[in-house]
A and B are shown apart, each in its own frame.
Chain A
Amino acid sequence: MVPPPAAEPAQRRLEVSGLSVSYGAEPVLVDVDVELLPGSICALVGMNGAGKSTLFQALMGFLQPLQGRIRIDGLQVAQAQRQQRLAYVPQGDQVDWQFPVRIWDVVMMGRYGSMNLLRWPSRSDRQRVREALQRVDLLPLANRQIGSLSGGQRKRAFLARALCQEAKLLLLDEPFTGVDRPTENLIIQVLLELRQRGATVLIATHDLEAIPRFCDQVVLLHRTVVASGPTEEVFTQSNLRLTFGTLAAADPPVRSVS
């Protein structure tokens, strides 16, 4: 029998294999494997301290792996970043909201990587920023200072920045924390559109209820990958119990997924 042909590395959008990362002396992630294809949305689920942020930090090249490798479209992280293949939507707790920039300026920062060296926006840069702002319903507020936005609007502004970066892989860190229902729905809508267009989304979230609505993949993380795969197979009570311990089982936040 002929063995099935090995998938081209370039077909995989994200490939993490044997990844171990430590923060100081303590290893936080041990032997993590994640594989994502183009056109999928994957939830990254785990307790606080399970290593979700550490995984993101490694994916963005902030932390150097002790072992293992990360490939984005077959490229190393730094290369992928230079080619604008990777966009990151931050949680926002590190952002200085008093900073004197407008929504428009923040979203325009998504274009910097593909702009000319002087970062003078071209007509098409401005057009893309306008479209991204329109998509997240923030165009009328474009001239407001970022701190004047509500929690949900702030998340949408950073999503718009990632949109106009036109990246292939989006990393979202807790996009639903502190946002209103309409914003949550809008974010989910935007992510589904991105998947439609072949982008890959990795989203760290505590909002377990929302996951079956739009994530086709789930990675359950507790220092290493507890389980990963299609949502309907992986996102089960027993797996969540393994991930969260007995706490989650006592207070089941998940509707049964059948």
Chain B
Amino acid sequence: MPISPLQLLLEPLQETFLQRAIAVGVIVAVVCAVLSCFMTLKGWALMGDAVSHAVLPGVVLAYAFHLPFALGAFVFGVGSVGLIGWIRQHTRLKEDAVIGLVFSGFFALGLVLISKLRSNVDLGHILFGNLLGISDADLGQTLAIALVVLGVLLVRGRDLLLFCFDPSHARSIGLRTGALHYLLLSLLSLAAVAGLQAVGIILVVAMLITPGATGYLLTDRFGRMVGLAVLSAVIATVLGVLLSYWIDASTAGCIVLMLTLQFALVMVLAPRHGLLAQRRRRQRRTSQLP
């Protein structure tokens, strides 16, 4: 019996390890995509990059001492953010300089620890993700992180949105903006930990920024922005995993490439905020001139 092209494309979905990879990837994608909307609006892309790099020593130490890797990563993620804030307050340096030097320092510490501790940690898996070979224990932790982050966002999401939009007003109605600041950073650390399971430390910032950026160019409503970001991240994850199977290439690379392609398309074609729409508007305005 001849095989249709569709069957050929969907055939990999029969493989258990691929089903599992897609399932984990989609969970991670949803969590990171929701959070990416807050990151985009708050302007915390650099902070996301910093946190995701700074968790490396935490992951290495956790593996070495047989602790849950999420715990180690969380401690170092939040710790790096605290250190960034402290140096910022006590020196004359600007924030971007402090962020850059803290996260690279933490990352370097992680590299040294890996080479000295001789644990069975595979640096490649941490740096570039290991979606196809995820262990049961790691899967459980990722699920737990996802539930915690989504649960907190469900309960505190509106306060966090207000904090992103107008911190002065948040403060003036008695919300503790300092606590909200650290809550958002903690969620960022957790999501970074989940994300590095899927795409690794280097590329996790793409999961934490790109879906939100894509959604932001498509709509002027926050609710829809979240929905579109999630949709975009899920599609990119499924297609990315399948693509990596078909062409036998890096899974993380394929997922992030899909995310970036979607963004590029949206940037050009978005109905109101896309480049083409802007050009049309400019032309219409010029043609209306006498």
A: residues with CB less than 8 A from B are 60-62, 78, 81-84, 86-88, 90, 94-96, 99-102, 105-106, 109-110, 112-113, 117-119, 145, 147, 161, 165
Q: Report if A161-B220 is in contact (Cβ < 8 Å); known contacts: A78-B174, A112-B162, A119-B159.
A: no
Asked whether A81 lies within 8 Å of B172 as measured between CB atoms, the reply is yes
Interface residues on B, range: 20 to 34
What's the least CB distance linking B33 to chain A, in Å?
Answer: 15
B: residues with CB less than 8 A from A are 41, 155, 158-159, 161-162, 164-166, 168-169, 171-175, 216, 219-222, 224-225
Q: Give every chain B residue within 8 A of A87 (Cβ-Cβ).
A: 172
Q: Which residue of A lies closest to B216 (CB)?
A: A100
**Neighbour of A102 across the interface among B155, B168, B174, B221, CB < 8 A:** B221
Asked whether A100 lies within 8 Å of B225 as measured between CB atoms, the reply is yes
Q: Report if A88-B169 is in contact (Cβ < 8 Å); known contacts: A109-B162, A112-B162.
A: yes
A60 to B173 alpha-carbon distance, docked (Å): 9
6 closest A-B pairs (Cβ-Cβ)? A113-B173, A82-B174, A145-B220, A81-B174, A119-B158, A88-B172
Q: Give every chain A residue within 8 A of B161 (Cβ-Cβ).
A: 101
Q: Give every chain B residue within 8 A of A112 (Cβ-Cβ).
A: 158-159, 162, 173, 175
Asked whether B165 lies within 8 Å of A99 as measured between CB atoms, the reply is yes
Asked whether A61 lies within 8 Å of B221 as measured between CB atoms, the reply is no
Q: Report if A113-B168 is in contact (Cβ < 8 Å); known contacts: A119-B158, A119-B159.
A: no
A-B contact count (CB 8 A): 71
Asked whether B41 lies within 8 Å of A90 as measured between CB atoms, the reply is no
A105 to B225 alpha-carbon distance, docked (Å): 15
**Neighbour of A60 across the interface among B172, B221, B222, CB < 8 A:** B172
Q: Report if A161-B169 is in contact (Cβ < 8 Å); known contacts: A118-B155, A119-B158.
A: yes
Asked whether B159 lies within 8 Å of A165 as measured between CB atoms, the reply is no
Q: Give every chain B residue within 8 A of A165 (Cβ-Cβ).
A: 173
Q: Give every chain A residue within 8 A of B164 (Cβ-Cβ).
A: 99
A119 to B155 alpha-carbon distance, docked (Å): 8
Q: Report if A96-B172 is in contact (Cβ < 8 Å); known contacts: A102-B221, A112-B158.
A: no
Q: Which residue of A lies closest to B158 (CB)?
A: A119
Asked whether A62 lies within 8 Å of B216 as measured between CB atoms, the reply is no
Q: Which residue of A lies closest to B173 (CB)?
A: A113
A109 to B161 alpha-carbon distance, docked (Å): 10
Q: Give every chain A residue within 8 A of B220 (Cβ-Cβ).
A: 100, 102, 145, 147
A101 to B165 alpha-carbon distance, docked (Å): 9
Q: Give every chain A residue within 8 A of B174 (Cβ-Cβ).
A: 78, 81-84, 113
Q: Give every chain B residue within 8 A of A119 (Cβ-Cβ).
A: 158-159
Asked whether B168 lies within 8 Å of A90 as measured between CB atoms, the reply is yes
What's the least CB distance linking A7 to chain B, in Å?
Answer: 26
What's the least CB distance linking B15 to chain A, in Å?
Answer: 40
What's the least CB distance linking A64 to chain B, in Å?
Answer: 13
A254 to B121 alpha-carbon distance, docked (Å): 76
What's the least CB distance linking B177 to chain A, in Å?
Answer: 10
- Listed by A's residue number, 6 A-B pairs whose Cβ atoms lie within 8 Å are A86-B172, A90-B169, A94-B168, A100-B216, A101-B165, A102-B220
A1 to B221 alpha-carbon distance, docked (Å): 67
Asked whether B158 lies within 8 Å of A100 as measured between CB atoms, the reply is no
Asked whether A88 lies within 8 Å of B162 as measured between CB atoms, the reply is no
A60 to B216 alpha-carbon distance, docked (Å): 32
Asked whether B166 lies within 8 Å of A109 as measured between CB atoms, the reply is yes
A120 to B70 alpha-carbon distance, docked (Å): 32
**Neighbour of A100 across the interface among B155, B173, B175, B219, CB < 8 A:** B219
What's the least CB distance linking A16 to chain B, in Å?
Answer: 17
What's the least CB distance linking B42 to chain A, in Å?
Answer: 10
Q: Report if A61-B219 is in contact (Cβ < 8 Å); known contacts: A112-B158, A118-B155.
A: no
**Neighbour of B175 across the interface among A60, A105, A113, A118, CB < 8 A:** A113
Q: Report if A96-B158 is in contact (Cβ < 8 Å); known contacts: A81-B173, A84-B174, A86-B172.
A: no
Q: Which residue of A lies closest to B225 (CB)?
A: A100
Q: Give every chain A residue within 8 A of B173 (Cβ-Cβ).
A: 81, 84, 109-110, 112-113, 165
What's the least CB distance linking A129 to chain B, in Å?
Answer: 14
Q: Give every chain B residue within 8 A of A113 (Cβ-Cβ).
A: 173-175
What's the least CB distance linking B230 to chain A, in Å?
Answer: 15
Q: Give every chain A residue within 8 A of B158 (Cβ-Cβ).
A: 112, 118-119
What's the least CB distance linking A114 to chain B, in Å?
Answer: 8
A165 to B161 alpha-carbon distance, docked (Å): 18
Of the candidates B171, B172, B225, the one having the most CB atoms from chain A within 10 angstroms of its own CB is B172
Q: Give every chain B residue within 8 A of A88 (Cβ-Cβ).
A: 168-169, 172
